[in-house]
Amino acid sequence: MTRSVLAGIDGSPQSEAAALWAAAEAHRRGSALRLLHAWPWLDAGDGNASWPGDLRSKALDAVRELADRIRRDRPGLPVETAMISDDPVDGLVAAAKEQDLLVLGSRGLGGFAGLLVGSVGLAVTARATIPTVLVRFGQAPVERPATAAAAREVLVGLDAGEPADAVLEFATAEAELRGCRLRAVHGRSLPPSWSLAGPVPPQAYLMEQESAEGALVSRSLAGLRAKHPGIDTIADVRLGGGAQALLDASVHAELVVVGRRERRHHLGPHLGPVAHAVLHHCAAPVVVVPHP
């Protein structure tokens, strides 16, 4: 099977925005785009044909109309469509295993089948084995001229104490595809003891912390910079938690990349606190990259 960019759609404006974003990404990558709608009752029997029949017809029309629109907007881009009768979370997670990237709409309002509301999008992101993007409504891609590349950025969250190579490599590849710079953001929370000394730590302490964290970040990025010398990589150290540091830095970012450690929890796969907070509050599209 040819690997492609997979977009989950449900007929809502949110999933349409995700599909358009996925089309631009597939075009950049030179790969195909696959539009998938998953819902467990698409193949329901005729015992209650008034609802399941209408549902399947409406779903099929929405998938075809969106595919036709993308083909008109991007001639030459291979666009495939598929509909499966399956639970949205299980169906999307299974279909994504053979693809390069999964793109979902965030904060959906239900569409025609309730697919990709926030809880479903988060559940898929927590279980998917490939990088997964959540795109909010209004985040359809804007084509920018190459001359603006110096002002454009891909952001990546960096844990300088335990950097994840898969996350950094994905973010670097995205910056290279876009022809823009890469900003690696490392956030550090202040010790709780400062709450006893007052709300503002001494300036000397802040400078010392910034210098120490900056050196740690530089060591974490040394291998990446040597491997990709053509990418302008900026180390950005910010006092404050990792999530807040990323949110503060993401105002003008084209894309924000965070990691998700693939470790089992007694409640099943889950998102860490940084990824969860960024997904809920970031204005830019967010990619969650699973890593060991």
Nearest one of 36, 8, 12 to 112, comparing CA atoms: 12
* Domains of the chain, each with CATH number or no CATH: 4-136 (3.40.50.620), 146-291 (3.40.50.12370)
49: tokens are: 């044909």
Mean pLDDT of the chain: 82
- Do 182 and 171 form a contact (C-beta atoms < 8 A)? yes
For residue 197, pLDDT over 60 is answered with no
Structure confidence at residue 262 (pLDDT) = 80
Structure confidence at residue 121 (pLDDT) = 84
Residues 6+ apart with CB under 8 A from 243: 187, 273, 274, 277, 278, 281
Write out pLDDT tens, residues 3-47.
Answer: 799 999 887 788 899 999 999 999 999 999 999 998 776 665 444
136: tokens are: 């909010």
Q: How far apart are CA 47 and CA 145, in angstroms?
A: 55
Structure confidence at residue 117 (pLDDT) = 42
- In terms of Cβ atoms closer than 10 Å to its own Cβ (0-12, 13-18, 19+), residue 12 is buried
Write out pLDDT tens, residues 42-96.
Answer: 665 444 444 445 566 777 788 899 999 999 999 999 999 998 888 889 999 999 9
For residue 198, pLDDT over 70 is answered with no
Average pLDDT for 261-270: 66
End-to-end CA distance of the chain: 26
Q: What is the pTM of this model?
A: 0.85
Structure confidence at residue 114 (pLDDT) = 41
Structure confidence at residue 110 (pLDDT) = 46
Q: How far apart are CA 47 and CA 38, in angstroms?
A: 21
- Phi then psi for residue 156, to 5 deg, are -135, 135
Write out pLDDT tens, residues 106-124.
Answer: 764 445 444 434 677 888 9
Write out pLDDT tens, residues 266-276.
Answer: 555 678 889 98
Above pLDDT 90, what percent of the chain?
46
Structure confidence at residue 36 (pLDDT) = 93
- In terms of Cβ atoms closer than 10 Å to its own Cβ (0-12, 13-18, 19+), residue 16 is buried
Strand pairing report for 181-188 and 132-136:
unpaired
Q: How far apart are CA 175 and CA 169, in angstroms?
A: 10
Q: How far apart are CA 210 and CA 212, in angstroms?
A: 6
- Phi then psi for residue 6, to 5 deg, are -105, 130
Structure confidence at residue 46 (pLDDT) = 43
Q: How far apart are CA 108 and CA 167, in angstroms?
A: 26
Q: Cα dist. 243→110, 240, 255, 256 in Å?
A: 28, 8, 15, 11
Q: How far apart are CA 217 and CA 199, in angstroms?
A: 26
